[in-house]
Amino acid sequence: MTTTAIPPEARRAPAAAPKRRPRREREGAAWVFLSPWVLGAIVLTLLPMAVSLYLSFTDYDLFNPPKWVGVRNYAQMFTEDPRYWRSVVTTLTYVVIAVPLQLALALVVALALKGMKRGKGFYRSAFYAPSLLGASMSIALVWRAVFNDGGTVDNLLGTGGWVNKPGWALLAVALLTVWQFGAPMVIFLAGLQQIPAELYEAAAVDGAGKGRQFLSVTVPMLSPVLFFNLVLQTIQAFQVFTPAFAVSAGKGGPADSTLVYTMYLYDRGFVASHMGYASAMAWVLLLVIGVVTAVLFRTSRSWVFYASEGDR
Amino acid sequence: MTSTTVAHKPVRWGRVALHVGCLLALLVMLYPLAWLLATSLKPADEVIASLDLLPSHLEWANYKTALDGVNDVSIWRLLGNSLLIAGGAVLGNVISCSLAAYAFARLRFRFRGPLFAFMIATIMLPHHAVLIPQYIIFNQLGLVNTYWPLILPKFLATEAFFVFLVVQFMRGLPRELEEAARIDGCGPFRSFFQVVLPLTRPALITTAIFTFIWTWNDFFTQLIYLFDPDKFTLTLALRSFVDASSTSAFGPMFALSVIALLPIVLFFLAFQRFLVEGMASSGVKG
């Protein structure tokens, strides 16, 4: 017993030893703090990614062991499955309609609110509210009813119910996304407020009118925020699910016109139990989102302006 | 006195037009919410036939039907299930994301740069790329049709968006405070719990509220993992109306929709400052 009883001074001594100890201690502490994230990254992200890549080359129904089929899933997807292409076209159409409209509206409203003295806080919050509510099943069901035969939009425009028309149902889904422009709007507004007023004053002194100021000051100064919103909203739009599910009563109709990519993936994997096929679809989605993001980043070099670089 | 000053002050028509425009836009935007509220109180025959937004009389029976529950499961059970999942997710995200964020924002360790880049990249990772193997893992553990697949991942900081949010916030805190604490003999753990964490409260509140709302709204994950009606959340219970959409069930369906939306509306009204600013700060820096 006496041998283990180290006097307190001796125990504290190594801590006082120069330099090395605190650094190592901090490194150890960092990994303790990081451990839940590391575990999650390995077990719930990296490993599943590898497994889903493997499964994409197999036939797997959850019950029998996976059977290696090489690239058959991919071949079938690209050459023999019209519904797959239908879902690709539907998703791309949706992204191309919803994202630009949503961002344009967000920017217009942010510009309108920017210089406002009274009521700015109120409008900001009120326009933001749909961004939180819109993702819910409740609102998706409202959308289906409002755009249905006999719904408000039908009564107003005599459309006969978009939800039942193959060409129009997807537009109803896209409008639900556009309706949620509040989140990018709030980010735009915060970006606009960070543009120094001196820049506008200097431009005005140089004889620039409002339009010129917008093009030469606002647009370049706002471009990083615009880029951020564009990337984020595009990635999210590729993964749309709930509104398409609700509007089409879970079927992707009419005539597969709202069968977005993730809904077809759900259908193949979890309804038809073709987990291998669904995994192949998931990997194509991963690659497409990766490529789209990379392209956006590449093109951003020519139009996104970072103030710190601009100083030179 | 006052009348002369008013007379001298020109009416700024531009500003008036701006406010009128904003209010009109708000009216259009809030219409679906008003429609939802009105329809939840309409008698069955007015839901489709009538063009009026307001019901001829308030049909509280819709709410009575909704409160009776769905598929013989009481609404309190559904509400409890939703709260359990959202509450578990909030706890998990706040704990795990603040731990990871502190390491990334304040501590030095090997591979910090690459790991941080990886963490940021997972914000863009589509959930579907990991979905099926995660499902298989939980299936093999016998945890499908339980709440674990919905809660456990949050305790492992899988929502990188929040790690990033908290990192951004922690980077803005003055370093001097921790240095002072270190001189006073605080190790990284005490300095995390006693200095940094209390100061990070606004970011943690933002994380908690967003996690609650997003988990509450989540449909896809719940759809995949839960199939016993008595394990259903409010969101999933609403889904059963999607398949069988008879006109007579319209009123009760939207009454249930209102009930399912209520917590989000209350959270929004109570915390709108945190929400709006949390969203704004996530985009501006970085």
Q: What is the pLDDT of residues B35-52, one digit of tens each?
A: 999 989 988 777 766 666
Q: Tell me what pLDDT residue B7 has.
A: 55
Q: What is the number of structural domains in chain A?
A: 1
Residues of A in contact with B284 (CB under 8 A): 187, 190-191, 194, 225
* C-alpha distances out from residue A298 to A291, A303, B67, B161, Å: 10, 10, 54, 23
Could you list the residue range(s) of the whole structural domain that residue A114 is in? 83-301
Range of B42's domain? 14-58
**Chain B hits for A264, Cβ within 8 Å:** none
Could you tell me the CA-to-CA distances from B58 to A104, A249, B207 in Å, in that order? 40, 28, 39
Whether residues B186 and B273 share a domain: the answer is yes
What chain A residue is nearest to B242 in terms of C-alpha separation?
Answer: A249
Chain A residues with beta carbon closer than 8 angstroms to that of B129: 48-49, 52, 282-283, 285-286
Query: Is position B29 within any domain?
Result: yes
A–B: how many Cβ contacts below 8 A?
259
Q: What is the DSSP string of A55-75?
A: HTTEE--SSSPPEE-TTHHHH
Residue A254 phi, psi (nearest 5):
-75, 145
Interface residue A291 vs chain B (CB under 8 A):
no
Neighbour count for residue A11 (Cβ, 10 Å): 9
Q: Hey, is the C-beta of B1 within 8 angstroms of any chain A C-beta? A: no
Which pLDDT band, with edges at 50, 70 and 90, does B76 fall under? very high
Claim to verify: residue B233 and residue B191 sit in the same structural domain: yes
Alpha carbon of B48: minimum distance to chain A alpha carbons (Å) = 6
Asked whether residue B8 is domain-assigned, the answer is no
Asked if residue A224 has pLDDT above 70, the reply is: yes
Name the DSSP letter for residue A239: T
Q: Residues A274-286: what's their mean pLDDT?
A: 96
pLDDT at residue A13 greater than cutoff 70: no
Same domain for B100 and B31, yes or no, is no
Calculate how close chain B gets to A308, using CA atoms only, in Å: 13
Alpha carbons A43 and B136: distance in angstroms, whole number: 12
- Tell me if B207 sits within 8 A of B166, measured CB to CB: yes
Q: What is the pLDDT of residue A15?
A: 47
Q: How many domains does chain B have?
A: 2
* B17 interface with A at CB cutoff 8 Å: no
Residue B12: predicted pLDDT:
80
Same domain, B24 and B119: no
> pLDDT tens-digit profile of B1-15?
444 445 566 778 888
Residue B34 lies in a domain: yes
Residues of A with Cβ-Cβ distance to B20 under 8 angstroms: none
Instruction: Give the Å distances, CA to CA, from A226 to A239, A295, B99.
Output: 20, 15, 31
Q: Does B113 touch chain A (CB under 8 A)?
A: no
B157: region left, alpha or beta (phi > 0 left; psi from -120 to 50 alpha): left
Residues of A in contact with B126 (CB under 8 A): 235, 238-239, 282, 285-286, 289
Alpha-carbon gap, residue A193 to A116, rounded angstroms: 11
Asked if A116 reaches chain B (Cβ–Cβ under 8 Å), the answer is yes
Determine, for residues B124 and A289 on separate chains, whether the beta-carbon distance falls below 8 Å: yes
Asked if A249 is an interface residue toward chain B (Cβ–Cβ < 8 A), one would say yes
Say how many CA atoms lie within 13 Å of B110 toward its Cβ.
Answer: 3
Using CA atoms, how far residue A152 sits from A147, A202, B171, in Å, is 7, 50, 49
Residue B78 placed within a domain: yes
List beta partners, residue B73.
B70
Listed residue (A238, A275, A276) closest to A260, CA to CA = A238
> Could you tell me if residue A284 is inside a domain?
yes
Q: Which tokens sit at A254?
A: 């009419």
Is residue A198 within 8 A of residue A249, CB to CB? The reply is no
Cβ atoms < 10 Å from Cβ of B138? 20
Residue A18 has pLDDT above 70, yes or no: no
Residue, of A310 and A168, whose pLDDT is higher: A168
d(CA A213, CA A203): 6
* B67 within domain boundaries: no
Grouping H, G, I as helix, E, B as strand and the rest as coil, residue A67 is strand
Q: Is B4 among the domain residues?
A: no
Backbone angles phi, psi at A255, to 5 degrees: 50, 40
- Highest mean pLDDT of the ranges A42-56, A203-217, B15-29, B62-76: A42-56
Whether the predicted pLDDT of A11 surpasses 80:
no
What are the structure tokens assigned to A48, written together? 């599943």
Of A26, A179, A187, the CB nearest to B107: A26
Residue B126 and residue B79 share a domain: yes
Same domain, B104 and B47: no
Helical residues (DSSP H) of chain B, grouped into ranges: 2-8, 13-39, 44-49, 61-68, 75-106, 112-124, 128-140, 148-151, 160-171, 175-183, 188-190, 197-199, 201-217, 220-225, 234-243, 250-284
Cβ of residue B33 closer than 8 Å to a chain A Cβ: yes
Cβ distance B280 to A293 less than 8 Å, yes or no, reads no
Q: Residues 6 or more apart from B95 whose CB is under 8 A from it?
A: A36, B155
Show which of residues 53-112 on chain B sit within 8 Å of chain A, judged by CB atoms.
95-96, 99-100, 102-104, 107-110, 112
Is B36 inside any structural domain? yes
Nearest to B261 among A34, A138, A238 (CB): A138
Q: At which residue do the structure tokens 């009538």 appear? A: B50
Q: Which residues contact A246 (CB under 8 A, 6 or more apart)?
A: A137, A140, A141, A143, A144, B242
Q: Is residue A68 helix, strand or coil? A: strand
Give the closest residue to B182 by CA, choosing from B256, B254, B107, B89.
B107
CATH, residue A139 = 1.10.3720.10
Cα separation, A245 vs A249, whole angstroms: 6
Nearest to B242 among A249, A265, A290 (CB): A249
B114 touching chain A per CB within 8 A:
no
Q: Output the pLDDT for position A166.
A: 86
Helix (H) or strand (E) holding A111: helix A82-114
Shared domain for B235 and B97, answered yes or no, is yes
Contact between B241 and A246 under an 8 Å Cβ cutoff? The reply is no
Q: Which residue has the tokens 């805190």?
A: B173
Query: A14 in a domain, yes or no?
Result: no
Is A35 buried (19+), middle (13-18) or exposed (0-12) by CB count in 10 A?
middle
Asked whether the beta carbons of A270 and A245 are under 8 A apart, the reply is: no
Contact B235 A137 (CB under 8 A): yes
Q: How many CB atoms lie within 10 A of CB A308?
A: 6
Domain assignment present for A59:
no
pLDDT recorded at residue A309: 52
Give the rounded distance of the alpha carbon of A133 from its chain centre.
17
Least confident range of A248-257, A284-293, B116-125: A248-257
Q: pLDDT tier at A229 (50, 70, 90 boundaries)?
A: very high
Give the separation between CA B279 and CA B282, rounded to whole angstroms: 5
Residue A257 lies inside a defined structural domain of this protein: yes
How many angstroms separate the CA atoms of A55 and B155, rounded?
27
Q: Which domain CATH number covers B86?
A: 1.10.3720.10
| Residue where the block lists tokens 């997003």 | B214
What 3-state class would DSSP assign to B249?
A: helix
Strands A67-68 and A58-59: antiparallel
Residue B52's SS3 state is coil
For residue A152, the Cα-to-chain-centroid distance in whole angstroms is 30
Shared domain for B101 and B231, answered yes or no, is yes
Apex CA A201: angle with CA A199 and CA A206, to 5°?
95
* CB of B220 less than 8 A from some CB of A: yes
Whether the CB-CB separation of A131 and A109 falls below 8 Å is answered with no
Cβ-Cβ contacts under 8 Å, A95 against chain B: none
- Other C-beta atoms within 10 Å of A54: how many? 15
Question: What distance in Å separates residue B29's CA from the closest CA in chain A?
Answer: 7
Integer Cα distance of A198 and A168 in angstroms: 47
Per the CB < 8 Å rule, is B129 touching A262?
no
B205: closest CA of chain A, how far (Å)? 16
Mean pLDDT over all residues of chain A?
A: 88
- CA-based nearest distance B242→chain A, Å: 5
What would the pLDDT profile of A90-115 be if each residue is shown by its tens digit? 999 999 999 999 999 999 999 999 98
Chain A interface test: which of B175, B242, B243 (most A C-beta within 10 Å):
B242
Count the Cβ atoms, other than its own, within 10 Å of residue B111.
Answer: 9
What angle (nearest 5°) sits at the alpha carbon of residue B86, between those of residues B82 and B92?
A: 150
